[in-house]
Amino acid sequence: MKWRQKTFLADSTTSRVSFTLDSSLDSVNKVEQTAEQFAQRAGFDVDTVAQIAMAVREAAVNAVLHGNAYDKTKHITAFFESTGDSLIIRLADQGPGLEPENVPDPLAPENILRGSGRGIFLIRAFMDEVNFRQLHPGTELTLIKHRTTAQTGN
């Protein structure tokens, strides 16, 4: 797996890292593991860490599989920032673009037995804020989880 990493200067409450990764399942695993580490360091409880890691994994799968379609000439970028009150993750692909409003509701009776289409639903279920931005080409997804008062004391 080829990847480039930038680590930004951090103060006592803020840390940031970004990666440029190829369109592979190894990249998905690296992004998931990094999300898990950031969430742990931010002081989230075990269940919330697992939910954040899963949401970020789903976003990375979307970027690699549905966005870049495993194209070796395309990359994904992943940016992680832990601030005093939030964990922020941005993932971008170079695919044709995703219109989230066109994704069918996986809870609707007519969709419940579909073999796919639950990724964005899970991302929204597990994160506090989810924003899509069209990059022309590509899609950038911003995921935010707010720290509670107890966690910000860490």
Residue placing its CB nearer to another protein in the complex, 26 or 85: 26
Site string for another protein, 65-104 (x = CB under 8 A): x---------------------------------------
Query: CA nearest 8: which of 81, 101, 106?
Result: 81
Q: Which residue in 9, 12, 113, 149 binds another protein (CB under 8 A)?
A: 113
What would the two tokens of residue 41 be?
Answer: 């360091």
Alpha helices (runs of H) in 98-144, residue ranges in sequence order? 119-126
Residue 111 CA to residue 115 CA, distance in Å, equals 9
Work out whether the CA dihedral 62, 82, 9, 37 comes out positive or negative.
Answer: negative
Residue placing its CB nearer to another protein in the complex, 13 or 111: 111
Rg from Cα positions in the chain: 15
Q: Which residue in 15, 18, 50, 77 binds another protein (CB under 8 A)?
A: 50
Residues in the chain, total: 154
Q: Which residue in 118, 132, 151, 152 binds another protein (CB under 8 A)?
A: 118
Asked whether position 107 contacts another protein by CB under 8 A, the answer is yes
Interface residue list for another protein (CB under 8 A): 25, 28, 50, 54, 57-58, 61, 65, 106-107, 112-119, 121-122, 125
